[in-house]
Structure 1
Amino acid sequence: MDSNHTGEEEYEFLSEDPNFNVKPVMFSLIIGAFFAILNETLLNIALTTLMDEFSITAPIVQWMVTGFMLVMGILIPVSALMLQTFTTRQMFIGTMTVFTIGTVICAMAPNFGVLLTGRLIQAIGTGLLIPIIFNTFLLIFPPKRRGSIMGLIGLVIMFAPAIGPTLSGFIVEHLGWRFLFITVLPFAVFSILFGYKYLRNVGEITNPKPDILSILLSTVGFGGVVLGFSFAGEGEAGFLEPKVFSFILAGIISLIFFTFRQLKLEDPLLDVRVFKYPMFSIALVMFLIVMMSMFSSEIILPMYMQGPLALSAATAGLILLPGALLNGLMSPVMGKLFDKFGPRKLIIPAAAVLTATMFSLSLVSENTPIYLIIISYMFLMLSVSAIMMPAQTNGLNQLPKRLYPHGTAIMNTLQPVSGAIGVSVFISIMTNRKDTELQNMSNPTSESAIAQATVSGVELVYFVAFTVALVGFILSLFIKRAQPMDLADNTTS
């Protein structure tokens, strides 16, 4: 904890200390997070432009996305160790500096290799920044106020990616792709300077001894799973491709050894004992279901709209924009409602809405009106806002303080992992169903046959998503308001 605020017995949480100004801390972290997360989706629309600029193929340019997720999946597990080794200021300023260096490299890149290098350096900063924010806010705010604060984080995490494609399209068309990085640069520098002046240290430095074998197992484990699932959509054989199967198998085996090793270590890299807290475990499963539903829909629905519905990419993006904006804007509201009413009154109805929405999307056709797609996606994203942050907050609330870094690291590690799994699995389901349908048609190369087969694939994807969401709804019935175990005599209510 900051040397100026060592009276932990008097002030359990720093926001209750009248001498501690929490607003500059929040502003420093949120502005850095906004532009780091905005950067995740800012580049998506520019991928085609980069292919033309550098004369590269789609599988190569896709490394701008796959590589980003891979670095995050590898690095975030180490964040728990780093949060206990460096101060809040050191972590924030360090990660934002790394992110800024990567941004400068991208803006000046003379070729694709340099551009990809800068992008991966950006991913290092982004991957470490989110755990810093979660951990800091858990230490500053008491459980009764965390819903509102986590809702504010949700606004940043959801709103930034929502406006990313729209902003990216405007910048690329009128200014050129380099300005995607040049535009972010002054805000990143401002965040560093503001944080240097106003950010205060929270938490305690315990200097745990790093376990090299754990780091290696974590790297191979999470990296292998992300890579394997990311490669699944590239080959015709899908998950049966030797490369895909090998990466996933190596990742799973490494994660099994990693888990057993963490249980034996006095200072584990990721303390898997967080799973003995039931609200955290339920929250994590709910989080994975929501992330898979959201990430897959952001890929499947545009393919459906640009295929069978014959809409342009720009129109498809605009159709999804209201739902994405609604999700971001409702996150703070859901946070306040969580503080007032607890998790059950939010998460159970939202899980029911998510389940119903997935079922409704399994009934789409070539003649589905556009307004129904807009409404369905808005309901999807509204239910996500009512589940994701409240479930995360409730799950983390049950953990004792010493496990905050581990809980946040595990949840944030599984975000890119669940995204990669959700997208690859659902695209594989859709593609296989589409190919099967086309094989049974008399004229499989006609536009109408392809559209009909694609619709069949989308229907199956959302029926599978419906069954997954149904599991989430059943789990939501067991959610209770959690209290920190070290603040509530080891009980939960």
Structure 2
Amino acid sequence: MTATDTTTAPAAGPAAAGAPGSYPVLRWLVLATFTVILNETVMVNAIPRLMAQFEVSARAAQWLSTAFMLTMAVVIPVTGWFLQRVTTRTAFTVAMSVFGVGTVVCALAPTFPVLVGGRVVQAAGTAVMMPLLMTTLMTVVHERDRGRVMGNVTLAISVAPALGPALSGVVLAVAGWRWLFGLVLPVVVLVSVLGLRRLENVGETRAGGVDVVSVVLSALGFGGLVYGLSRIGEQHAGSVPAPVWVVGGLAVVATFVLRQRRLTRRSEPLLDLRALAHKVFAVSLAMQSLAFLTMLGAMILLPLYLQDLRGLTPLQTGLLVAPGGLAMGLLGPVVGRVFDRVGARPLVVPGAVGVLAALAVLSRIDETTPYALLLGVQVLLMVSLAMLFTPAFTLGLGALPPHLYAHGSALLGSVQQVAAAVGTALTVTVLSWRSAQLAADGAGEAAAYVGGVRMAFAVSAVLAVGVVVLAAMLPNRLPAGADDEAPAPLPH
């Protein structure tokens, strides 16, 4: 192994930072991650304008989101291998450069396909930044400070998507959609230049090639699965049905898993699945994925309900749901400090119950539910999720030995992309099915739509019961030296 920085051993992290508990290397990674994640959601309010300008259908316009999600699903599984082969500065340079190129392409896009291509390039850069941030955090931050630092990271990555729709609504009110990218570009350049001036390499790099077959299987499997899930409920004459894509994607993912197991025994896998042999990580991964699924469902359903049924504008909708995201982000540092003091269970168990309670209330909304109640419940949901994610991520990655940090981050990112696709597909399918059923029974258009929304929230509430069960399975704290333990062999 080739050391890239002698000051990056975990014990030397605080000293290298200049003061105990201070980790300036993370500041630039957090700022860069905030910038790229913010761009994920700024397109939401621009779709109607893009449909008119490029003369594309709503289904075609959705490719701005679908292509982004597909790219993330394809690239993230490779990041575990990539981050162990390059230095922190190189990974940062690659991520921000790729994202910057994609932003320029989007801002100048003359046609809709070029705009979608720019979003793909942006997503490739975004897919590297999040695992890079988390892997670096686990490498340099002392165990006693991880909750606090992870809470600060949560602030950035939670506030960004919440601000996206509101920010885009403001920009679109005074300028064209290209300014959504034009305003981001100088920020990207500034963060990149300042970050490279002050960012230090952490951890160690490893020599070794990449298994091309694993890369192809990963791309086809995760990409096909996410694409199939994103198309559930759609029908196109002559096209491959969505269930075929899903089943095919699952089959290829299974082949990918089997190949990683074989590579683990004789060489270096693309994605080291031995992380799943650590029980705390596996439980944390399952809980976060299920919670992420329910969160995505709520983030889709509530804006649909507010705009399609209650008649709010995209800007009004963004402003109504933004406080929940802001509360989630601002509470992150508090949750982190509490976690460091009292452990995980006083946070994750009430948080899981809060998620279940919020979704249960949302499953009872109707055509006249007060906006104040909707705002309060949405804030409760996001605050409860903040109580889940920070402790769960800290416990989960903390349970792994250091050489699995990058692979653990990649696994979490990959599963979250699948969970996002499942949440979207499930929400839209249940909403459409129940609404059509009620309409066929003679219900009015509004009543049928409300019934569909309520049923979709009810399904999410049922899934949230699983979040409560998994939260109860997490330990309060990791035993001393947990991240140095050898994992049990993967089951055959």
Q: Which residue of 1 aligns with 2:27?
A: 27
Q: Which residue of 2 aligns with 1:431?
A: 432
> Are the aligned partners of 1:134 and 1:408 in contact in 2 as well (CA < 8 Å)?
yes
Q: How many angstroms apart in 1 are the aligned matches of 2:470 and 2:116?
A: 41
> Are the aligned partners of 2:401 and 2:484 in contact in 1 as well (CA < 8 Å)?
no
2:452 to 441, 454, 457: 457
1:305 CA drift (Å): 2.2
The 1:378–1:487 alpha-carbon spacing in structure 2 relative to 1, beyond 3 Å, is closer
Q: Which residue of 2 aligns with 1:243?
A: 241
Structure 1, residues 59-112: CA drift from partner, whole Å, max 9, x if none?
211111100000010000000111111111000011101111111111122222
What letter matches 2:432 in structure 1?
A: T
Matches within 5 A, 1:53-92: 53-92=53-92
Q: How many angstroms apart in 2 are the aligned matches of 1:150 and 1:195?
A: 20
Q: How many angstroms apart in 2 are the aligned matches of 1:421 and 1:303?
A: 18
Q: How many angstroms apart in 1 are the aligned matches of 2:188 and 2:273?
A: 34
1:488 CA drift (Å): 5.8
Q: Which residue of 1 aligns with 2:490?
A: none
Q: Which residue of 2 aligns with 1:15?
A: 14
Secondary structure, aligned partner of 1:12: helix
Matches within 5 A, 1:7-406: 8=9, 12-17=11-16, 23-235=23-235, 242-265=240-263, 266-406=267-407
1:36 CA drift (Å): 0.6
Q: How many angstroms apart in 1 are the aligned matches of 2:67 and 2:357?
A: 35
Q: How many angstroms apart in 2 are the aligned matches of 1:467 and 1:19?
A: 48
Q: How many angstroms apart in 2 are the aligned matches of 1:185 and 1:455?
A: 41
Please report the TM-score for the alignment, with normalisation by the length of structure 2. Answer: 0.93
1:257 CA drift (Å): 1.0
Q: How many angstroms apart in 1 are the aligned matches of 2:424 and 2:297?
A: 5
Deviating more after overlay: 71-80 vs 200-209: 200-209
What letter matches 1:482 in structure 2?
A: L
Secondary structure, aligned partner of 1:113: helix
Residues paired across the two proteins, number: 482
Q: How many angstroms apart in 2 are the aligned matches of 1:206 and 1:93?
A: 19
1:18 CA drift (Å): 6.2
Q: How many angstroms apart in 2 are the aligned matches of 1:229 and 1:486?
A: 37
1:482 CA drift (Å): 2.2
Which sections of structure 1, spanning at least 5 residues, go unmatched?
none
Q: Which residue of 2 aligns with 1:418?
A: 419
> Are the aligned partners of 2:399 and 2:483 in contact in 1 as well (CA < 8 Å)?
no
> Are the aligned partners of 2:17 and 2:24 in contact in 1 as well (CA < 8 Å)?
no
Which sections of structure 2, spanning at least 5 residues, go unmatched?
488-492
Structure 1, residues 147-177: CA drift from partner, whole Å, max 9, x if none?
1111111111111111111111111221211
What letter matches 2:461 in structure 1?
A: F
Please report the TM-score for the alignment, with normalisation by the length of structure 1. Answer: 0.93
Deviating more after overlay: 477-486 vs 288-297: 477-486
1:471 to 463, 466, 471: 466
1:185 CA drift (Å): 0.8
> Are the aligned partners of 1:286 and 1:388 in contact in 2 as well (CA < 8 Å)?
no
1:485 CA drift (Å): 5.1
Structure 1, residues 319-347: CA drift from partner, whole Å, max 9, x if none?
21211211111112111111111111100
1:309 CA drift (Å): 3.3
Task: Give me the CA root mean square deviation.
Answer: 2.2
1:437 CA drift (Å): 0.8
What letter matches 2:96 in structure 1?
A: M
1:4 CA drift (Å): 4.8
Deviating more after overlay: 476-485 vs 141-150: 476-485
The 1:369–1:217 alpha-carbon spacing in structure 2 relative to 1, beyond 3 Å, is same
1:315 CA drift (Å): 2.8
Q: How many angstroms apart in 1 are the aligned matches of 2:72 and 2:8?
A: 35
Q: How many angstroms apart in 2 are the aligned matches of 1:485 and 1:218?
A: 33
Q: How many angstroms apart in 1 are the aligned matches of 2:427 and 2:454?
A: 11
Structure 1, residues 329-381: CA drift from partner, whole Å, max 9, x if none?
11121111111111111000111111111111112222322211111111100
> Are the aligned partners of 1:397 and 1:484 in contact in 2 as well (CA < 8 Å)?
no
The 1:4–1:50 alpha-carbon spacing in structure 2 relative to 1, beyond 3 Å, is same
> Are the aligned partners of 1:13 and 1:141 in contact in 2 as well (CA < 8 Å)?
no
> Are the aligned partners of 1:2 and 1:201 in contact in 2 as well (CA < 8 Å)?
no
Q: How many angstroms apart in 1 are the aligned matches of 2:367 and 2:173?
A: 31
Q: How many angstroms apart in 2 are the aligned matches of 1:325 and 1:418?
A: 23
1:312 CA drift (Å): 3.6
Q: How many angstroms apart in 2 are the aligned matches of 1:411 and 1:244?
A: 25
What letter matches 2:255 in structure 1?
A: F
Secondary structure, aligned partner of 1:477: helix
